[in-house]
Amino acid sequence: MKVDTMRRIDYYIGVPLCFLGSIGNKFILLISNRNKKPQKNVLFIELSEMGSAILVDPAMRKLQREINANVHFAIFRKNKPSLDLLKTVPEGNIYTIRENNMAAFFFDTMKFFFWTRKRKIDAVIDLELFSRFTALLTGFSGARNKVGFHAYYNEGLYRGSFLTHKVAYNPHIHIAKNFIALVNALLAKREEVPFSKTLISDEEIKLNKVEITAEEKKNIRDAVSSCMASFRPERHKIILINPNASELLIQRRWPPQYYAELIRKIIDACENAIILITGDPREREEAQLLKDQVQSQRVINFAGMLTFAQLPSLYGISEFMITNDSGPGHFSAVTGMPSFVIFGPETPALYGSLGRTTAIYAGLACSPCVSAANHRKTACKDNVCLQVIKPEQVFAAIKSNLEKINAER
């Protein structure tokens, strides 16, 4: 389904269902005793953002450390591979919802309510900021404890009244810390209004790193060789370019002609660098257009050449990556590879990668223009916030990395 279609469904069906469901939920809260048993089976819900599945990982691991929780996760099926990178959630504990057609969407939604009861879910943590659909999944999950963000006196979407632990979303701290706050609310020994009155340090949102074997690296080098016969691992240094962004917010795309100019500058400055243009199979045609603009044998259209599971191995043999504000900036955080992420409609202060990342951000008066308050839907049709970031500025940011490559020759 298209994003706007999902938003309309969320509004026209979600609002009345949230209202009616909240009435029933209030009655259930009056007769239930939700704090008698310890939390054991905890479900996280984050459907639409692959990057958030990485950003919430420190929160899930904290819950495992503190109470040895059996962690579960609900996510759209197309985004499920993001959970496989760090493998914090066991495969059997992941519930996927198909969003490609209405019949499958409805069937998986109904099945979800049986699944939560079969799994004996004690608590649900709703990671979404603006989805009425996830509020309904949380409300009717059958869990005794329901944790999520609540607007209180702030502006925000109506999402009903299902939560037993209402957390005040803080728009001034990183979203990963907000996720930790949700876990802290569930672990709290006493009632708080609002949850969660805790100090969250930078140390708490550090990511674990994946282990990459020599064989996995060799397989990626073989894939590069299949695209470039003259590729020599001992000589060539791989630099990644990810020019794409999620369809959820296409305004995050840096202009393609800027990428072409930047690639030419890299090729001229570093004679042993090769450029891999990355993306999924659907983006291969777009990647080819960018390659054709540059017209260099050292630029490879690598979109669709690897599976999602192979991305960490690709990052493990690459020098660095330049990317739009999108999933790869977060996926690379599970490795040691440096990334340069170009931000526009969103701010790195809230959504920056937790890895070795340099954020490139103009900070115009209108930016960031998407937030929890506007359902991440901006009126902007002209992303000047990205257009003002010129190739020269990005090249200056990566210059020291290129000099390091040249020094190794």
Q: What is the pLDDT of residues 72-103, one digit of tens each?
A: 999 999 999 999 999 999 999 999 999 888 89
CB contact set of 180 (below 8 Å; sequence gap of 6+): 58, 59, 62, 200, 204, 205
Residues 237 and 353 in one domain: yes
Among 10, 100, 89, 88, which residue's Cα sits nearest to residue 108?
Answer: 100
For 129, phi and psi rounded to 5 degrees?
-100, -25
Mean pLDDT score, 266-277: 95
> What percent of the chain has pLDDT above 70?
94
Edge-to-edge strand list for the sheet holding 299-301: 299-301, 273-277, 237-242, 318-324, 339-343, 357-361
* Domain final residue pick, 178, 205, 232: 205
Give the model's confidence band at 212: pLDDT under 50 very low, under 70 low, under 90 confident, else very high. very high
Per-residue tokens: 262:
């930047």
Check residue 12 and give its pLDDT: 72
Cβ burial of 352 (10 Å; 0-12, 13-18, 19+) is: buried
Residue 372: domain span: 215-407
Please compute, for residue 295, the number of CA atoms within 13 A of its CA located in the half-sphere on the CB side.
Answer: 1
What distances in angstroms separate CA 274 from CA 134, 227, 289, one per listed residue?
43, 12, 17
Residues 83 and 145 in one domain: yes
Output the average pLDDT for the chain.
Answer: 90
Alpha-carbon Rg for the chain, nearest whole angstrom, is 22
Scanning the structure block, which residue is given the tokens 């369809």? 247
Number of domains in the chain: 2
In a domain, 295, yes or no: yes
Residues 187 and 220 in one domain: no
In a domain, 369, yes or no: yes
Q: What is the CATH number of the domain that holds 254?
A: 3.40.50.2000
In a domain, 229, yes or no: yes
Cβ burial of 406 (10 Å; 0-12, 13-18, 19+) is: middle
Give the model's confidence band at 129: pLDDT under 50 very low, under 70 low, under 90 confident, else very high. confident
In a domain, 321, yes or no: yes
CA 269 remoteness from chain centre: 33
pLDDT at 327 over 70: yes
Q: Which amino acid is at 395?
A: F
* Domain final residue pick, 142, 170, 205: 205
Check residue 130 and give its pLDDT: 79
What distances in angstroms separate CA 258 from CA 240, 342, 392, 400, one per listed residue?
15, 12, 9, 20
* Domain final residue pick, 143, 174, 205: 205
Residues 236 and 312 in one domain: yes
Q: Is 167 helix (H, G, I), strand (E, B) or coil?
A: strand
DSSP result, 170-217:
-TTS-HHHHHHHHHHHHH-SS--SSB------GGGGPPP-----HHHH
Residues 42 and 125 in one domain: yes
Residues 17 and 150 in one domain: yes
Pairwise CA distance, residues 142 & 154, whole Å: 28
| pTM across the whole model | 0.91
Residues 57 and 201 in one domain: yes
Residues 385 and 242 in one domain: yes
Among 245, 241, 244, which residue's Cα sits nearest to residue 262?
Answer: 241
- Which one-letter DSSP state was computed for residue 144? S
In a domain, 210, yes or no: no
Per-residue tokens: 325:
């504000």
Per-residue tokens: 180:
């930790």
Whether the ω angle into residue 233 lies within 30 degrees of 0, i.e. cis, is no
In a domain, 305, yes or no: yes
Residues 198 and 221 in one domain: no
Residues 105 and 189 in one domain: yes
In a domain, 297, yes or no: yes
pLDDT tens for residues 176-204?
999 999 999 999 989 999 999 999 999 99
Residues 50 and 184 in one domain: yes
Residues 294 and 312 in one domain: yes
Check residue 291 and give its pLDDT: 95
Give the model's confidence band at 158: pLDDT under 50 very low, under 70 low, under 90 confident, else very high. confident
Residue 272 and residue 307 in contact, taking contact as beta carbons nearer than 8 Å = no
In a domain, 91, yes or no: yes
